[in-house]
């Protein structure tokens, strides 16, 4: 794994939030390196800074200071449109609450990132979407609306959407938090399988210790600082 090139590099990243009159530190100088193809879990208690760390890596929040490199691009200096473009081409997101568009069917939800990607010809959308759905095992549900699916199926749709654009990196913020234990394990298994088959780097946050034995690397975070990192 060490021979793989670096895909994420954080150097002394700090972030704090203002809550009324109070400044709440979320990241207190985090430095981190992730190699391409790693399957990494960020573990920590609620409020430890897991989500903030993922948000920084995913370019959906800006650090107060520090440097963030994603696939050799320094994202802290990018403007909003460039960051949007970077997210579209290189990063896939999986959210705790799935965040599917209820008026679009499964196929259309998965197609969303492709629509704005000029590098993906429209004629290939169907093939790509159906492949992504097949990879997550729900290609037979392509025409269903999200409210016709179970929680586990919805999260599979979200995973397919994250993978449809062939990103280098998939970020998942508590992807199993809204699922029962059976479905949680299935989702983690699926992510692992996709990590191996597609060689996609996964970085996900969780506080479920039962899932920890499945990952190749665990990063412990507490009070906005990385307290441990084990392969």
Partner 1 sequence: MNKSVAKLAWRNLRRNRRRSMATGMAIAAGFTAFMIAAGYAFRVERVLANYTNYALHVGHIGIYKKNALEMFSIKPNEFALTMEEQNAITAAVQGLSNVEMTGRYLTSQGLMGNGCKTFPFVATGVDLSVESRVMNHPNLLKWNDHITVHRYGQPIWTFPEDMGAVALSEGLAKLLGKTKIHEELAGGKPVMIADCSAPNARELFGADANVQLAAGTWDGTLGALDGEFVMRFSTGLVETNNTSVVMSINHLQKLLNTDKVTNVSIWLKEPLFMSQTLSELKSRLRKTAPSLDVLPWTDERLSPYYSGTMHFIYVLVGFIGCVLAVVVILSIFNSATMTIIERSQEVGMFRSVGYNRKTIRSLFILEGLFLTFASVIAGAVLGLITMFAINLLHISINPPGVAGGIDLQFAPNALIIMAGATIVGILGMGSTWIAVSGVVRQNIANLVSGAHR
In the list 72, 80, 119, 213, the residue contacting partner 1 (rule: CB under 8 A) is 80
Region from 109-117, 134-142, 192-200, 223-231 binding partner 1, contact rule CB under 8 A:
109-117
Q: Which of residues 168-227 bind partner 1 (CB under 8 A)?
A: none
In the list 35, 89, 198, 218, the residue contacting partner 1 (rule: CB under 8 A) is 89
Q: How far apart are CA 38 and CA 119, in angstroms?
A: 26
In the list 9, 28, 84, 183, the residue contacting partner 1 (rule: CB under 8 A) is 84
| Residue 60 binds to partner 1 (criterion: CB under 8 A) | yes
Torsion angle of alpha carbons 26, 31, 33, 39, nearest 10°?
-30
Q: How far apart are CA 155 and CA 95, in angstroms?
A: 8
DSSP 5: P
Cα dist from 166 to 128, 160, 194, 228, 230, whole Å: 9, 10, 11, 30, 27
HSE value, Cβ hemisphere, 13 Å, CA-based, for 44: 26
| Residue 107 binds to partner 1 (criterion: CB under 8 A) | no
Minimum CB–partner distance for residue 176 and partner 1 (Å): 17
Q: Which is nearer to partner 1, 116 or 199 (CB)?
A: 116
Per residue, the 3-state secondary structure of 164-198, as one string, reads: HCCCCEEEEECCCCCCCHHHHHHHHHHHHHHHHHH
Q: Which of residues 117-136 bind partner 1 (CB under 8 A)?
A: 117
Minimum CB–partner distance for residue 76 and partner 1 (Å): 15
Tokens of 12: 């002394």
The count of other CB atoms within 10 Å of the CB of residue 209 is 8
In the list 23, 103, 182, 209, the residue contacting partner 1 (rule: CB under 8 A) is 103
Region from 81-89, 136-144, 199-207, 223-231 binding partner 1, contact rule CB under 8 A:
81-89
User: For the chain, first and last CA: distance in Å?
Assistant: 10
In the list 73, 95, 177, 220, the residue contacting partner 1 (rule: CB under 8 A) is 95
Residue 83 C-alpha from the chain's centroid: 15
Site string for partner 1, 10-49 (x = CB under 8 A): ----------------------------------------
Contact set with partner 1 (CB under 8 A): 51-52, 55, 58, 60-61, 80-81, 84-85, 87-89, 92-93, 95, 97, 99, 101-104, 108, 111-113, 115-117, 161
């Amino acid at each position: 794994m060490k021979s793989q090139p670096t895909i994420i590099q954080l150097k002394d990243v700090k972030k704090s939030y203002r809550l009324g009159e109070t400044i709440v530190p979320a990241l207190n100088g985090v430095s981190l390196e992730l190699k391409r193809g790693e399957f990494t879990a960020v573990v920590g208690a609620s409020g430890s800074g897991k989500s903030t760390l993922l948000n920084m890596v995913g370019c959906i929040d800006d650090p107060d200071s520090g440097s963030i490199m994603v696939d050799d691009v320094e994202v802290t200096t990018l403007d909003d449109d460039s960051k949007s473009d970077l997210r579209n081409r290189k990063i896939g997101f999986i959210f705790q609450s799935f965040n599917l568009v209820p008026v679009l069917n499964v196929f259309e939800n998965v197609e969303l990132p492709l629509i704005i990607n000029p590098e993906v010809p429209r004629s290939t959308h169907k093939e790509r979407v159906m492949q992504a759905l097949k990879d997550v095992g729900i290609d037979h549900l392509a025409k269903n609306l999200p409210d016709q699916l179970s929680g586990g199926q919805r999260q599979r749709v979200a995973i397919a959407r994250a993978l449809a654009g062939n990103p280098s990196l998939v970020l998942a913020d508590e992807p199993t938090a809204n699922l029962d234990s059976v479905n949680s394990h299935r989702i983690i298994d699926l992510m692992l399988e996709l990590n191996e088959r597609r060689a996609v780097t996964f970085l996900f946050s969780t506080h479920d210790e039962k899932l920890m034995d499945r990952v190749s690397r665990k990063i412990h975070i507490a009070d906005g600082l990385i307290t441990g990192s084990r392969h």
